Chains A and B, each alone.
Chain A
Amino acid sequence: MDLQTVWFILIAVLFAGFFLLEGYDYGVGILLPFLGKKDAERRVIINAIGPFWDGNEVWLLTAGGAMFAAFPHWYATLFSGFYLALFLILIALILRGVAFEFRSKDDNPRWRALWDWSLFFGSAVPALLWGVAVANIVRGVAIDADMNFVGSFFDLLNPYALLGGVLTLTLFTLHGALFLELKIGGELRTRAQGVVKMLWLPVTVLALAFVGYSALETDMFANLTVLKVVGLVGAVAGLLFTGAMIFTKRYGRAFLGTAITLISTVILLFWTLFPRVMPSTLDEAFDLTIYNASSSDYTLSVMTVIAFTVVPIVLIYQAWTYRVFRKRLTVESELEY
């Protein structure tokens, strides 16, 4: 396997980590104003992701940094091309990040409401736009001979990409509702179960529609490779498994189902691309591939050594934090503070 392929896989792993982890905390942020009716309830909901969200977000930052280091042209084309979408994501992430810290530092109800809604928009906007962005990457965008995106912001808002965005938005919300079901107790837990039951069917329908639409818009079904089949089967089976578990009230397993779906989706989309990283709709010759977009072999080998040393350690201590904060939270347990 060449180094470019190794790094393509590593970036897929980072995106899978991002979808799996930040996916649920985006979902929790989206649900916050609807599930938490009273201030104390909202605090419990926020506390459920309090120790984790920042570490989750670093999966995205690392994916961005790894793209820059391993495939500078991919990073440059994507970030300058999807300019306004990324600007909106940045504004959202800024508001979201400070909201976690700022909201409870003042009792004024308007202050609290401001940051609660910042958490909502700060979670919903990226949850939607990452789906739009990824769907556009897989579908292909107007890239010229100099590797520059020459379309407009509104070209990115095509129906296929929007469907992708709505899918990630709702899928993350379902994933987040399941996470809450596992992390909180009492009345809030019952409400989270209600959301889960309500969302499962629409999410599954959207997912199947997206797969169907992908057959028309992308190369998903052209020369089916083993990994594509694994991704496809995993994505669909994960959701069906989630459904079965929801209706037998085994929510831990239902969360495992959405987790499998999220990881499988990343596998499916990345191997629909492979070996391209950003196909051009103007001319196949303008496609960015792992070869014409990559760094030198020297940089890739140095980075491989570092990544293979550090990533396992990260996984160990992040897993440890879930053990430390495994206790279920309730309004009562929080109110003593």
Chain B
Amino acid sequence: MDALTLARLQFGITTVYHFFFVPLSIGLSIIVAVMQTFYVRTGQERYKSMAKFWGKLLLINFAMGVVTGIVQEFQFGMNWSEYSRFVGDIFGAPLAVEALVAFFIESTFLGVWIFGWEKLSKGTHLAAIWLVALAANVSAFWILVANSFMQHPVGYQIAESGRAEMTDFIAVITNPNVLLQFPHVALGGLTTGAFFVVGISAYHLLRNRHRSLPMFQTSLRIGLIFGLVAVSGTMIFGHLQGQRMADTQPMKLASAEGLWESEDPASLSLFQIGNEQDRESVVNIRIPSLLSFLTYNTPDGLVHGINQIQAEYEQQYGPGNYVPPAIWLTYWSFRAMVGAGAAMALLAVVGLFFSYTNRMSQFKWFLRLLIAAILLPYLANSTGWLLTEVGRQPWIVQGLMTIDQAVSPNVTPAMLWITLIGFTLIYGALMVADIYLLQKFARDIGHEDPQSEMSSAAQGKNQAPLKSTY
């Protein structure tokens, strides 16, 4: 394999892996902060136990997100030096701001929260977890500002040197792309956190250990409420992103839909087997007019097909292949993401109905379904990014620079093999350790006082699980 392919593979692997952890940190930190707020407001130990139980899982996950994030920051310079030289003015700025305004707060106050249960007033300690949750979301905003420039460059000019230079910082951070992408991603994170809480709570309700039941009944309901709100919001912003894509990245829209030829009115493909060589579909089950409706809110309207956009881009940018490398991947990623989102919305509605009518424990099959549903947000998050980034190809910055111009010229395939194998091995091993710990602590309802885990007399001992982790 050549250096470009290896560098792309490495970016794909390390990024998808990094994003297994990030959304859970973003979402679960908010949910833990809310639980701890209940504790501080009501004084009920039940909420403290909840904050500590979910907080421990948050910490295991957080560490993985942090360490894999360092690789991301270094990787642009290591493998994509030409890209870094080209966009550093614009792309480097949000990365630096992210470190300054988010990473410092996150890392400092996470330490304060972990070690501060006994050293700080309740209010100050609560502020620490809120700062962590806030900073995790702020961090997502800044990295998405950087990503949005790749999808839809704004606020720049091409200088004499050939480099992209920032001309309008406000335009860069209010990129219409990020204004939709940020809520989509942040709410996707909240969805991930919510279904994580829902699934593990369902596990404990199934196990039916009397002592911990109230805690997990409450957790389950909190999770379902967050889940329903978050997944609905995620879908709304996702839909709006799709409509924008018709303007700014029509090729991505066409490849998400497997639309080879322009149509007016455009039909929505439900199941397709395509021939990517000849750029046509072999089998295609379609609903007439639906794609036009989804794109323009009217039953008709022209949606551009892959072949027409390719011809148009050849006119505009010169000869070349402007079709993403794997239409099957964008097409099925899109369907997996939307399908997972719809399934989560349905589960949350049914779950809330069972929860509020106090019938949850009668439906064991449903509780089992909720455990399995922990995986749905992960599926949606990963396929969402695959669509976003594969659908952008061959551009690294839409319309300005292609990926083959972006790779480091002095990094050889041998060097890339070393790092690719090294990262893959260590990431694989860490995944095993991470899942081992998560399942261990997700099952473990703690070393609490045998009489009553809620009793405030047990407060001192309640520190045990968390404190002993260091």
Contact = CB atoms under 8 A, between A and B. Distances in A.
Q: Do A and B interact with each other, yes or no?
A: yes
Interface of A: 43, 46-47, 50-55, 57-58, 61-62, 64-73, 75-81, 83-84, 86-87, 90-91, 93-98, 100-102, 104-106, 146-150, 295-296, 298-299, 302-303, 306-307, 310-311, 314, 317-318, 321, 324-325, 337
A104 B470 CA distance: 6
B236 to A, nearest CB: 32
Given A70-B92, A75-B92, A105-B440, A65 B116 contact: no
A94 B430 contact: yes
Contact of A51 (B115, B167, B440, B467): B115
A62 B166 contact: no
A94 B108 contact: no
A155 to B, nearest CB: 13
Interface string B46-90: 000000000000011011101110110110111101101101111
A321 B467 contact: no
B107 A54 contact: yes
Contact of B422 (A57, A64, A79, A87): A87
A150 B410 contact: yes
B8 to A, nearest CB: 16
Given A50-B470, A79-B81, A80-B410, A55 B108 contact: yes
Nearest to B436: A106
B104 A72 contact: no
Contact of A84 (B98, B120, B418): B418
B350 interface: no
12 contacts: A65-B73, A65-B99, A68-B73, A72-B84, A72-B89, A79-B76, A86-B74, A87-B419, A94-B426, A101-B62, A299-B92, A302-B169
A100 B60 CA distance: 10
Contact of A54 (B96, B97, B111): B111
Main secondary structure of the interface of B (DSSP, over half): helix
Nearest to A88: B422
A61 B60 contact: no
A148 B78 CA distance: 12
B72 to A, nearest CB: 10
Given A51-B115, A58-B107, A84-B418, A97 B67 contact: yes
Q: How large, as a class, is the contact surface on chain B?
A: 35 or more
A107 to B, nearest CB: 10
Given A43-B470, A50-B111, A62-B103, 6 more contacts: A53-B111, A58-B104, A58-B107, A65-B100, A72-B88, A307-B100
A186 to B, nearest CB: 18
Contacts of A302: 93, 166, 169
Nearest to A325: B115
A324 B116 contact: yes
Contact of A61 (B73, B116, B166, B470): B73
Q: Which 10 A-B pairs have the closest CB atoms?
A: A72-B88, A79-B77, A68-B92, A69-B92, A65-B96, A101-B63, A51-B111, A54-B107, A97-B67, A80-B81
A69 B426 contact: no
A138 to B, nearest CB: 19
B309 interface: no
Contact of A94 (B71, B95, B116): B71
Given A101-B63, A337-B463, A324 B119 contact: yes
B430 A80 contact: no
Given A62-B96, A298-B165, A337-B464, A90 B71 contact: yes
A94 B115 contact: no
Nearest to A148: B410
